[in-house]
Structure formats: C-alpha cells, structure tokens
Amino acid sequence: MSNEKRSPVHEIVNALWRALHDLGTDAQLADIERWGFSIHMALSAPGREYHNHDHVVELTVEGDPLEVIAALYHDSVYLQVDQDLPHSMKPELGTVLAHESAGWRILPAAAAIAGDTLAVFGRKIGDIVTGTTGLNEIASALIASIQLKDLLTREQRIAIAACIEQTVPFRADPVAPLHDRLVLLGFDGKLLDDTMRRAVRLGNRDVANFAENDAAQFLDNTWKLLPESNPALHAPLVYTVRDYRTALQKMEGFLSKLPAERVFHHYQDEPKHETYARHVARTTGNLELAGRYLRAKLYAIAVIEAVAESTGGDVPIDYFMGASKQFLNRIDLRRIEQFLPTLPPASDLDASLLQLLAKGRTSESSFDTGPSPIATFLYAAVGEAEIMRGMDKARTYWAGGYDSNAFLQALPAKPCAGVARAAGNIVDTRRDRLFALAERLEH
C-alpha cells in the first residue's frame, strides 16, 4: 500500500492493514476494512475537535505494530462528547457494557470475550465505570480486543490494552499499578519490560502537545478541547457570553491545578531521564502561561458579561462583539475592536502574553477567533497585576458577591468605559444604555 498521505479513512484502514500484516496475521481485507471503517466513524462523531481522526492518525506515524493498533483504537469511545457508544461499535460493545443511571456496568459476557483486558484496567464484572474513571479507555480497549480476538495472541491483546490504559490522562502514578497488574497476568522479564515501555511511550505521545516549544501551538490544541466539554459552543452563532465564560472557567480551573508531573510518565529508560525532565519543564512553563492567558481572557469576558448584564442581560456573544468569525473576511461588517479607544499602556506587561492575546493561537477554532481583541485591550491598559486582582473580584461577582454594576465600579474606570462605549457602536438596541453606562463609569 502507498505511503502517500491520504484522507483520514484511508490512513486509518492502511495503518491497521500494515500493523496486522507486520504482525504476521492472516487478517482478511474485508475485515480490516470493516474494523477501520468502524474506527473512522467513531472518530468522526459531531463535536469531536481534538479527539478525532487527525489526532489518531498522527499517533500512528511512529511505534511498533501493537502500538499503532492501540493508537488507532484508543479514542474510539468518548462518551462525554458522543453521549453514547459509537454507532459503528455499539452492537459489539453492547454485549459487554450496559448503561445505568450511575454509569456503565461491565457485563458478565466481558469475562469470556476480554477478561484479560479488564484485568489490565484493574476492573471486574459488575463494576460501574464513568467518564472520570476510565470508561472511554476501557471501552476502547474492549472493542479492540473484541474485534481482533481471533487474530492476535493473548500477549498481544494484553499489550494493546496496556497501551490504551496508559492513555487515561493526568494520574499521579499510573505506571506502577499497571506493572503490578501485568505481573499478575503472567508477564515477566523482557515481555514485561517491552510491554511497559510501549505503553508509557504511547501514553506520553498522546499528550505530547503539553510539551510544545511554542505556547501558541499548545493553546491551539487545548482550545480544541473546549467544545468537547461544552456542547453550547457547538453553535458559534448563538452561544452566549455566559456560555463562553463558563467554558473558559472550567478550562482555567483545570489547567491551573494540573501538576506537570501528572502529564508525562516514565518507566526505566522510557523516556530517557533528560527527555522526561525536559517534557516536565516545558509542560510547567506552558501550563503557567496558559493559566495567565486564560485569566486575561476571563477578565475580559467578566467585563463583557457585566456590561451586558447591566444594560439588559446576557446575549449571544456574536451580538455583543459584532461580525462573527464566519464573516471576518468581510471588511464591511463592524467589530467591537474597531471602536476601542487608545489608552496609555500599563507598566507591567509581559510581551509574550500580550503577543499571544493580540495575534492569537496558531489556528482558528470552530467557535472562536484566534486573536482576543478585548482581552488585548484590557491587558495592555490595566497590566498584569490588575488583571490578577480583577480576577479575584470576577470570581466574587460570578459567585453572587457583586452585582454587575458594583463589579464594574470596582475595576479601572476608563478601560471598562471604553468597552461599554465600543459596544454601544455595535449593539443598536442598547446603544443609549451602553453609552450611559460608560458615562457613569468615568464619573
């Protein structure tokens, strides 16, 4: 088969074909197509922006055949986004998993079909699993084991399950427990070490973007996760200011509390000590900058939310900002940034953060523009220290400790008035109220 880049469905089927061929199996082409199509269909579900076929295909470029197969299957199931088992895999997964109010119960049939896979995850028949306790990865490993059970050896199926188990993200120490479970399954010596190294390698490659040298690229990938966990953002023309703020809050809260040591892991010399240390250091820097970037964005959306609430209530963010991202190529449409005033710059600006806000992430998202004009304006006008003080006030406002007017009065007057006045040039139905608010803030 050709090594030329093809469409995702070709890439997936070809990668599966090559891996099974390299393992010496007698897989039939019709079966390979059927399994590859089922993976592609699962990854193509609406709402997937990061955990999609592009991410999976990227992971198949490296690794041995077992690692490639694990990469192909590892994101097949994503219940938080898909809201159900993948349609293309549901008949098979429905025999081993059943939905209940508390989560998904592992059914007795799983013991006969994929008992070793359950053991890799430390699970047993009757357990209830959820999206926060490894459900996606367990289900993905189960479908791999079910579809390939007649082709692969027991050790190969366990190795694939181990790889997928290590893609459960952000755990304190996932390596030692997996090692112990593999020992109980009879793995030892070179087989044990090779299986562990392969699993850790795929787990680290799955989150490689956290160690990006370019913070804009790291944020670009991070931004793709927002609509996956915030369905309201799937409708970019109608989601509201509050919808957007809620999504940013969740992301900021998560990244600000994530220790870099929970992103990457190691086993013996995989990866080498210096590589692991470099990954952790870069992740630390990226998380720190991402937190500051998100807090600057949250400060801006807090101002926008309070201005909107003070003049009539929450609105679609597109209504407040002007022309949406779908229409930015039209120069005749007004955008709020066209009416922001020029204010003296603050003295405590970080050039890298200012550039990130002004120029944006490396690519557009489905729901948001790359540049952040209001966040850029406010950050430049009030400075980093005031942004951080303002975030404390914003959290009080969101918790009900301030009303919208009191919150705006607690912030620097001229920048907030500038936002309100600029909005008055966009929101015709609130023009008078927005201009009046700007006057009140300045006097």
pLDDT tier at 45 (50, 70, 90 boundaries)? Answer: confident
pLDDT of 2 above 60: no
Q: pLDDT tens digits for 131-158?
A: 889 999 999 999 999 999 999 999 999 9
What would the DSSP string read from start to end of 286-332?
HHHHHHHHHHHHHHHHHHHHHHHHHTT---BHHHHHBS-GGGTT-TT
Report the SS3 class of residue 101. coil
Enter the tokens of residue 262: 């929970």
Q: Map out the domains of the chain as residue ranges.
A: 8-206, 215-442
Mean local confidence (pLDDT), 68-94: 94
Q: Which two tokens stand for residue 125?
A: 């028949």
Please classify residue 18 by burial: count the beta carbons closer than 10 Å to its beta carbon, then call 0-12 exposed, 13-18 middle and 19+ buried. middle
Residue 274, exposed/middle/buried by CB under 10 A (0-12, 13-18, 19+)? exposed
Query: Across residues 369-390, what is the average pLDDT?
Result: 93
The secondary structure of 225-291 as a DSSP string is THHHH-GGGG-TTT-BHHHHHHHHHHHHHHHHT--GGGT---BTTBS-HHHHHHHHHHHHHHHHHHH
Tell me the pTM.
Answer: 0.90
Please, which residues have CB within 8 angstroms of residue 318's CB and are 6 or more apart in sequence? 236, 237, 238, 324
Q: Would you place residue 327 in the very low, low, confident or very high pLDDT band (cuts 50, 70, 90)? A: very low
Q: Does the structure show a pLDDT above 70 at 175?
A: yes
Split at pLDDT 50, 70, 90, the class of 364 is: low
Question: Is residue 235's pLDDT more than 60?
Answer: no
Does residue 202 register a pLDDT over 90?
Answer: yes
- How is 76-96 classified by DSSP, letter by letter? S--HHHHSSS-TTTHHHHTTT
Predicted pLDDT of residue 1: 45
Indicate whether 199 pLDDT > 80: yes
Environment class of 416 (CB within 10 Å of its CB; exposed 0-12, middle 13-18, buried 19+): buried
Structure tokens at 34: 């059927």
Q: Which of 245, 389, 265, 262 is nearest to 307 (CA)?
A: 245
Task: Please check the confidence at residue 221 and state whether its pLDDT lies above 90.
Answer: no
Whether 105 contacts 126, CB under 8 Å: yes
The mean predicted confidence, pLDDT, of the chain is 91
- Reported as type and span, the H/E element at residue 21 is helix 8-22
Q: Categorize the per-residue pLDDT at 369 as very low, low, confident or very high, splitting at 50, 70 and 90.
A: low
Q: What average pLDDT does range 401-417 have in this prediction? A: 97
- The 10s digit of each residue's pLDDT in 245-258 is 998 898 899 889 99
Tally of CB atoms within 10 A around 24: 9
